[in-house]
Every structure is written in C-alpha cells, then in structure tokens.
Amino acid sequence: MASLPAPDGKRAALLALLAWLLCSAAMLWLFRGDFATLGFRDPDDAMRLVQVRDWIGGQAFWDVSQHRVNPPIGGPMHWSRIVDMPIAALILLLRPLLGMAMAELVACAVVPLLLLGGMTAALFVATRRIAGTIVALLAVILLLTAPSILVQFTPLRIDHHGWQIMAAALALGGAMDLRPVRGGVVSGLALALWLQISSEGLPYAALFAALFALRHWIDRAETPRFVGFTVALGAGALIPLILLRGPSAVLARQCDALSFVYVWPLVALAVATPAAARLIGPSTALRRCLIGAIGGGAALATFLLTGGACLSGDPFAALGPLAYKLWYLQVMEGRPIWEQSRLMVGVILLPSLFGLIATLLAARAASGLVRMRWLTVALLLAGAMLVAIMVMRAVSVAHLFALPGTTWLLVTLFRRVQASASAMVRIGGSVALVLLTPAGLCALWVALAATPEPARNASANCRAATVLAPLRTLAPTTLFAPIDLGPDILVQTRHSVIGTAHHRNAAGITAVIEGFVDAPDQARTVIGATSARYVVTCDGLNEYRLYGQANGEGLAAMLARGTIPQWLEPLPTKGPLKIYRIRPPRS
C-alpha cells in the first residue's frame, strides 16, 4: 500500500462494489440454513413480514395496525411503510415467477443486502471526500468486516435498523460534501428519512443541526449548508408524513414516532432559519450566531407548545409496573451501558474510543478545510457515542462514524511500519495493526474479558418453525402465548395472538404478562377476559422462565413443574412446546 499508486476513483468504486458483492455472497452462504423455514433472528423481523403480507393482502396503506394481535381490538403499531415498500415490491415482482413462498424468501434475504450496498456506497463517498481513495476503500473493507454493523444487514434482517444506519451514512456524506447547499440538503433528507422510520433519529437530527449551526457560525461559507439542512429536514419531515400516514398524522400527538409533537418544531426551524438568514444576513459572526439562535429558538418554542406529555412522559409508562419491569427493562438493547455486561461494555466502547482518538489525530495532522471536516467527524462520533452509552442498540451508528478516522490511522501506521528497515518490524507491525480494526478490537476484548459460563442443558429454539409446527394442526383461533413467540406464530400459522413485543399494544402485553405471572385463579380471570382459546408455553424461552421466577406460585411456574389447573386441558405434543385448551367456565 505504501508503494503502490492509489487507484483512480472509478477503479476504487468498482473495488468497493466487488467487496460488497463478496460480503453479500458470504452472508448468503453463512445464513443459508435459515432460509427453508424463514428463521428470523429477531421477532421484529417476523412481524415486519406479517405487516408486509397484510398490506399485500389488502390492508390499507395508512393502516399499519396488526389485526391478528389482541383481536377484536387489534394491536396498534407505529412502523413506517417505507421499510415495507422494497420488500413488498420484490415479492410482487417475483411472485409470478417463483411463487409466493420463494418470493418472500428472496425479498427477505436480498433487501438487507441492498441496504448494506447503499450504506457502503455512502461511506465510500464520505470517506473519499475527507481522506482520499485509499482510505475510502479500506474503510469499506473495515465496514464489511465490522460485526457490530453487519449484524443489522444479514439476510432475513428486514426490520428498520439497517435503514437507520444507512441514513446515518448518507447524512455523514452530506456533512463532508464540498458543495454546501447539496451537502446540507442530502443530510437533511437523510435525517428526515430516519425520522419517518423511527423517532430514534431525533438525537441525531439535533446533533447534525447543532454541528451545522456551529460550522455556519465559524465560517460564512457554511451558511448555505446549515440553511439547506434545516429546509430539507423540515420539508422532508412534513410532506412524507402526510403521504405515508395521512393528513391526520400531523395533528396526532404520539411520543414514540414522528407526529404533531416533533414535525411542527422541525417546520418552525425550516421556516425561521432561512427567513432570519435573508433578513439579517450572514456577514458577521454575530449575525450568523443570531440566525442560528432564531432558528433554534423557534424550534424549541414550538416544541414546548406541541410536546404536551411527551416533554416529560415515558411512552412505556402505559404498560403498568409489572409489564414495565418484566418486559421493557429486560430488553437490554434499549438499556444504557451501565446495565450491560462487562463484555458488552468493551464491545460498545473500544471501536468508538479508538475511532475518536484516531479522528482527532487526523484533524491534528490536517489543516484548513480538511481539518474542519475531520473535526466534524469527531463531533459527530462523540455525539453518537453518547447516544450509544444511553441506548445500546445505537452502537452501530457510533462504530460507523468511527470508521473514517480508524482507517486513516491504520493507513498512516501501516506506511510507517513498511518504511522500517527491519523485516520483523514490517511483518509484525502489519499483523499487529489487524488488532486495531473494529473486528480485531472486539475479538481481542472478547478473548480477554469473556468468562466461562456454567454448563447448561441445550434448549430448543422455541421460535423455530419445527417447534411451532403442532400449532398448525389447530383450526385458526386466538392463542395466549408469550409475547416473544407472537410474531413467529403469526408468520408460521393462521392463528392470532394476544400480545407481541410492541409497546403500543399495552393492553395485550400487560394481559400476557399478568396471565402467566398471576396465580392460576387470577390468571383464569385475566385470560378469560381475552379472546384466547388456547394457552401456549415453551420451556426453552427466556421470557417464560422469567415469568416463573417472578412468582413461584404463578401459572407459568406451575405449568413448568407439570401442575396443570383444572381449567386447562393439555393437548398431546412432543418437544418443548405445550398447548392447553381453555375449558369454558361451568354455568
């Protein structure tokens, strides 16, 4: 690398494309065992396919509720049709050629890889703008070997997390664009896309807005980027919201999704900022500061008016104390870093911290506009790290922002190592640099920090199609099942369920948890108030074990011990799945 000339831009882009194709082929091979039965890694992926099926089957575009969850009321959802669109499009395109089942499989396997391709291209462009072709190409290699990022793009990983990371890469590319207006618009639209998909994009929208405002204050040439960003963000939030969710969405107050609460502050920012720039003018630093203050102040004032309960409320509070404790607090991907294991803490922090140090070193070695771009990456990475510290699943974005700096430092160190007169230094140093890659740092930490766990009896995968197969022998009905089984039951059978792990269906989640944790007499009352006709359990499910631990005399604990109340009739089954018919009360 030290002696070979840098490839031209076109050749480097082709090499990046080849790297993505090889990575995609490798993942298709590695995950091929899940294809025959649509073995989704996460219940959310299964629920996504259910939502797509319902839409293809005739459910209204603006209706994303799940009518087979907690019938007859239904389970309200906050998901976006944006994520559904490419999956549905591929299914409809391939169905006449392959049949429905194979079309679904191809769509679920290919869509995550296409998103990975989009993110790869965005990172390549962003890194090339700041550090050149060689660093950009190596950044792609590091990206395609980073487990904390790739985990969200594996075949069948069709939930929205890959979309969010791709949006982050697009926004980063806009921040690095040499054309300020275009860069601001690209970043604004990328963040608007993120917000349409998930409210988890809100802290990043604030981060980019603050950073662009800072650059606008420092350098008058950056004013068009800041103004373009605010206009694109506001318009990209309002117009697609109306198109995707209907006109009523801009008046509905929802704390967990883009709605009345958040869209109007963004519109206020989009209106106030260019108006202030036009009226005041960006000729001095003081004037530019005033422009940013007016735009930000308008957004904040509007949020204070629209926020309502969202200003201090917890969208999960409606679950009730028992469901909050036994479900929400157990979802570790949504918990802060201090609640994670020591192993996970290192995986979260090491690539980010190393990337931040590397980015600051790159900024120190640069000058002028290039230094400003490196400092921009450093601030974005620092902000993304703070988000990841508060919410573990945000780690992928932090690790993405760490890649340009990490790659620059590895290339710099490699060149110095190769300049050594000692062959041992050249060989040993090059090998040692592998440990500084994101994959190397994570592997090294796992090797050092992992502690042996006590041996446990192997348990069946309760969500597997083979385990759920006995349910297909029943006529379509409603099942009272653990919430983590719900989405796979919906995918694999024609049954309905009471609850899934989606918080807007607070009534269904609460009923499931109370029904399994309460003593049998109270559980009968809870379950009887639902439309369920069968109770389903699975001994290998962590959720089900948790219910038994919460109350040793509860229904889940008693069924696990083989003690069956009289109002349940066990059906003959093999394996860990147990099915009980609910006997009607005697008149």
* pLDDT value of residue 4: 47
The secondary structure of residue 224, as a DSSP letter, is: H
In a domain, 515, yes or no: yes
Domain end position, chosen among 248, 283, 315: 315
* pLDDT value of residue 450: 67
* pLDDT value of residue 22: 97
Question: Could you give the CA distance from residue 299 to residue 237 in angstroms, rounded to a whole number?
Answer: 14
* pLDDT value of residue 455: 47
H or E element, residue 280: helix 260-280
In a domain, 383, yes or no: no
> Tokens in use for 249?
């969405």
Please list the ranges in the chain whose pLDDT falls under 70: 1-6, 313-315, 317-318, 450-460, 587
In a domain, 258, yes or no: yes
Domain end position, chosen among 294, 315, 336: 315
In a domain, 504, yes or no: yes
List helix spans (H) across 70-160: 81-98, 100-131, 133-143, 147-150
HSE at residue 130, side-chain half, CA atoms within 13 A, is: 32
For the chain, how many structural domains are there in total?
2
> Tokens in use for 19?
């790297």
Max CA distance (Å), the chain: 93
* Helix%, strand%, coil% for the chain, nearest 5: 70, 5, 30
Of 47, 82, 49, 53, nearest to 197 (Cα)? 82
Number of neighbouring beta carbons within 10 Å of residue 5: 6
The secondary structure of residue 586, as a DSSP letter, is: P
> Tokens in use for 359?
């980015």
Using alpha carbons, list the distances in angstroms from residue 108 to 52, 298, 381: 11, 42, 31
Q: pLDDT tens across 68-117, in order?
A: 999 999 999 989 999 999 999 999 999 999 999 999 999 999 999 999 99
* pLDDT value of residue 2: 45
The residue range of the domain holding 283 is 177-315
**What is the residue type of 368?**
G
Phi/psi at 480 (nearest 5 deg)? -95, 95
**What is the residue type of 69?**
V
* pLDDT value of residue 555: 95
Sheet containing 534-538: which strands, arranged edge to edge?
A: 496-497, 478-480, 534-538, 577-582, 568-570
Question: Is it true that the peptide bond before 72 is cis, omega within 30 degrees of 0?
Answer: yes
Residue partners of 411: CB distance under 8 A and separation at least 6: 1, 134, 135, 138
Question: Could you give the CA distance from residue 337 to residue 386 in angstroms, rounded to a whole number?
Answer: 10
In a domain, 199, yes or no: yes
Question: Could you give the CA distance from residue 544 to residue 110 in angstroms, rounded to a whole number?
Answer: 33
Of 50, 56, 157, 58, nearest to 114 (Cα)? 157
Residue partners of 191: CB distance under 8 A and separation at least 6: 167, 171, 201, 204, 205, 208, 233, 236
Domain end position, chosen among 281, 297, 315: 315
Of 301, 308, 307, 326, nearest to 316 (Cα)? 326
Question: Could you give the CA distance from residue 35 to residue 106 in angstroms, rounded to a whole number?
Answer: 9
Q: What is the CATH number of the domain that holds 512?
A: 3.40.50.12610
In a domain, 157, yes or no: no
Of 316, 318, 292, nearest to 226 (Cα)? 292
Residues 225 and 212 sit within 8 Å (Cβ to Cβ) = yes
Phi/psi at 478 (nearest 5 deg)? -110, 130
Question: Could you give the CA distance from residue 397 to residue 171 in angstroms, rounded to a whole number?
Answer: 11
Residue partners of 176: CB distance under 8 A and separation at least 6: 125, 126, 129, 130, 183, 373, 376, 377
* pLDDT value of residue 454: 55
* pLDDT value of residue 3: 47
Question: Could you give the CA distance from residue 365 to residue 116 in angstroms, rounded to a whole number?
Answer: 31
Segment 25-29 long-range contacts (CB within 8 Å, at least 24 positions apart):
27/113, 27/150, 27/153, 27/154, 27/155, 28/109, 28/113, 28/155
Q: pLDDT tens across 214-254, in order?
A: 999 999 999 999 999 999 999 999 999 999 999 999 999 88
In a domain, 89, yes or no: no
In a domain, 8, yes or no: no
Using alpha carbons, list the distances in angstroms from residue 549 to 516, 542, 544, 567: 11, 10, 9, 23
Question: Could you give the CA distance from residue 145 to residue 413 in angstroms, rounded to a whole number?
Answer: 20
pTM of the model: 0.94
